[in-house]
Amino acid sequence: MRYKVVSMGDALREYLNNSRFKPRLLEVRIQENWEQVVGKTIARYTESVQLFDGKLVITTTVAPLKQELNYSKDRILRLVNDMLGEEAVKEVMIR
């Protein structure tokens, strides 16, 4: 029986894509790249960014920023999914 030869990186990537850790890894990638996705000013005033079952939850206490983020939900959704390279985020929620 012959086995397909794959690189270590491809094998690890395949394992992580099929593991239960994938949602948490996506959340960490979003958190690490948050400033590049939305810019320094918005990143400075957001308290947390979390991913739950395809819902990106953005928390801030600044009322004008909440309003601006509510208007920009579709843009944020598109930018985050583009950064991840997949359609991992289905909805954006502002708290």
Q: Is residue 81 part of a domain?
A: yes
- Phi then psi for residue 23, to 5 deg, are -60, -40
For the residues 41-62, what does the mean pLDDT come to?
94
CA distance 71 to 31: 21
Q: Is residue 2 part of a domain?
A: no
Q: What pLDDT was estimated at residue 10?
A: 86
Q: What pLDDT was estimated at residue 11?
A: 85
Q: How confident is the model over 9-44, as pLDDT tens digits?
A: 888 888 877 888 888 999 999 999 999 999 999 999
Mean pLDDT, the chain, rounded, equals: 91
Q: Do 37 and 75 contact (CB within 8 A), yes or no? A: no
Q: Is residue 3 part of a domain?
A: no
Number of domains in the chain: 1
Q: Is residue 46 part of a domain?
A: yes
CATH of the domain at 89: 3.30.300.20
Residue range of the domain that includes 33: 8-94
Is the confidence at residue 86, as pLDDT, over 70? yes
